[in-house]
Amino acid sequence: MLFNSIEFLIFLPIVFILFWFVLNKSLRGQNILLILASYIFYGWWDWRFLSLIVISSILDFSLARGIEKSDTKARRKQLLWISILVNLGILGFFKYFNFFADSLEDLLGIMGMKADFITLEILLPVGISFYTFQTLSYTIDVYRKEIPASKDIFAFFAYVAFFPQLVAGPIERAKNFLPQFSKTKTFTYENGVDGMRQILWGLFKKVVIADNCAPFVDQIFADPSNYNSPILLLGAVLFAFQIYGDFSGYTDIALGTARLFGFTLMRNFAYPYFSRDIAEFWRRWHISLSSWFKDYLYFPLGGSRGSKNKTIRNVFAIFLVSGFWHGANWTFVIWGGLNALYFLPSLIMGNNRKNLDIVANDRRWASLVEVKDMAITFFLTCLAWIFFRAENVTSAFDYIIQIFNPRNVFTEGSAALQPTVWIVMFFIGLLIGVEWIQRREQHGLSIVPKSKLFRYFIYLGLTFLVMYHWGAEQEFIYFQF
């Protein structure tokens, strides 16, 4: 079920009414309702894949109990490895089987050896990377004795399958999120209103920004040879805002929906395109995944405690694995490696934690130096996004070469875009303006004018834009991961 669908507009009020007005005196009843609602929400795509969520939930609930009760470290480690291997095995089969088979076949072909591996038509379950990492972090934290194993199977199943963040995150840690399913909820008007505001802002980013960027991005990336350098660069910029509006829009809707039910999800985006260097960008983009790799890969590898060379190795490890997490394509691996290269200068010079606060935090406007740093960071990010969006590595390199080809700057006969692209650029400008004003806040509508008339004008204006641009339901980009 899509957030931007009529079905969800019907589904959400029904679950809300049952949660607060029918089961408000039963915590267990509320958790059971959330489990059933989440399974309906997820099963709307393909009910067969519900079995994977159930298996993952039963497996990690049972193994974590076993880890906690085990007397020996060897037994605890054995149970942990069962969880890791089974979870990653399921993820690897559905997401990477054909990738490894095709890559091995290509490698053997280069070596002059003929191979014909079986390629299966494997459907990728929506959100499998997200809930797999969420349950894995739970068993790892129980093994580390950072949290106790859950004894409430209904609370744990609701934690794994919680529908607002099930298919595209944020990837929640059990230490922060699981206890919320064991606490009695109290509905507050303030939480409800702010949740609705964040949902509205998320829908604006998805429907008005991302979905309107998509046709132009598809058109340009389908045949880059038809366009000159400025339009190709524009295509990269439009994709940067498409993926930001799409993914952060989903997150806003997820956080707002969770707040309607009395839950607090972690922030996943913090205005990343206002970053002044790549290190700051990755502290502000997909925060839940970045912190996951930091805690469960970077630190176990040694983090920054060893030599500079080992630190560089560890940085490359998390960026390359992060790229591979996104999809079974070498374009994602290169995207991760390119971001690691971007990160290296600040790491080597020791100023990778220079920009920890939001830009111009105590000022209205950024300085010229800050504007320059933000522009450079955004430009480098857009170049990396080309690999993320391209169908294959060759297409990505061809796209970039054409951008920097001096002969392609004013190519005669180059195809032109529809004039409506300027309307999209206006909406992007509106997005940037609002988020600059709200950059110290949690989301674009955190602070609203004191004038009730002006507030309703904003709400009605955004609602009108969303409804006007609400066309064919378009899936969120990160559903494929």
pLDDT in tens, 1-21: 788 888 999 999 999 999 999
Model pTM score: 0.92
Tokens of 39: 């399974």
Is residue 340, in this structure, part of any structural domain at all? Answer: no
Residues 53 and 166 in one domain: yes
Return d(Cα 265, Cα 259) in angstroms, integer: 8
Residues 38 and 164 placed together within one structural domain of the fold: yes
pLDDT in tens, 424-445: 999 999 999 999 999 999 999 9
Q: How do residues 171-180 score in pLDDT, each as one tens digit?
A: 999 999 999 9
User: What is the pLDDT, as a whole number, of residue 476?
Assistant: 80
Q: Is residue 211 part of a domain?
A: yes
Domain assignment present for 289: no
CB-CB neighbours of 396 under 10 Å = 24
pLDDT attached to residue 118: 57
Sign of CA dihedral 48, 54, 60, 62: negative
Residue that is last in its domain, among 185, 205, 239: 185
Residues 259 and 137 in one domain: no
User: What band does 83 get if pLDDT is binned at 50, 70 and 90?
Assistant: very high
Spell 229-244 as b/e; 16+ CB within 10 A means b: bebbbbbbbbbbbbbb
- Of the residues 119, 153, 185, the one at which a domain ends: 185
In a domain, 326, yes or no: no
What range does the domain containing 166 cover? 6-185
Q: Mark whether 469 is an active-site residue.
A: no
The phi, psi pair for 13, rounded to 5°, reads: -60, -35
Residue 338 lies in a domain: no
- pLDDT over 90 at 471, yes or no: no
Q: Is residue 298 part of a domain?
A: no
Distance from C-alpha of 86 to C-alpha of 14, rounded to nearest angstrom: 36
Question: What is the pLDDT confidence band of residue 115, given thresholds at 50, 70 and 90?
Answer: low
Task: Tell me: do 373 and 417 sit in the same domain.
Answer: yes
The Cβ of residue 250 has, within 10 Å, a number of other Cβ atoms equal to 29
| 42-49 long-range Cβ contacts below 8 angstroms, 24+ apart | 42/1, 42/126, 42/127, 42/161, 42/163, 42/166, 42/167, 44/1, 44/7, 45/1, 45/126, 46/123, 46/125, 46/126, 49/123, 49/125, 49/126, 49/128
Residue 450 pLDDT class (50, 70, 90 cuts): confident
Last residue within a domain, chosen from 185, 208, 236: 185
Same domain for 31 and 149: yes
In a domain, 316, yes or no: no
Band of pLDDT at residue 99, cut at 50, 70 and 90: low
Q: Are 399 and 390 in contact (CB under 8 A)?
A: yes
pLDDT tens per residue, range 48-73: 889 999 999 999 999 999 999 998 99
Residues 6+ apart with CB under 8 A from 425: none
Let me know whether 215 and 362 are in one domain. Answer: yes
Of 31, 430, 368, whose CA–CA distance to 212 is shortest? Answer: 430
Q: Are residues 100 and 247 in the same domain?
A: no
Q: Are residues 29 and 116 in the same domain?
A: yes
Number of Cβ within a 10 Å radius of residue 270: 17
Please check whether residue 322 lies inside any domain of the structure: no
Same domain, 163 and 204: no
Cα–Cα distance, 370 to 431 (Å, whole number): 19
Q: Are residues 379 and 410 in the same domain?
A: yes
Residues 253-265: pLDDT tens digits?
Answer: 999 999 999 999 9
Instruction: Return the percent helix, strand and coil in the chain, to nearest 5.
Output: 70, 0, 30
* Residue 215 shares a structural domain with residue 107: no
**Banded model confidence at residue 196, pLDDT cuts 50, 70, 90:** very high
Task: Count up the domains in the chain and report the number.
Answer: 2
224 in the same domain as 86: no
Higher per-residue pLDDT: 114 or 248 = 248
Q: For position 173, what pLDDT does the model report? A: 93
CB atoms under 10 Å from CB of 114, counted, come to 7
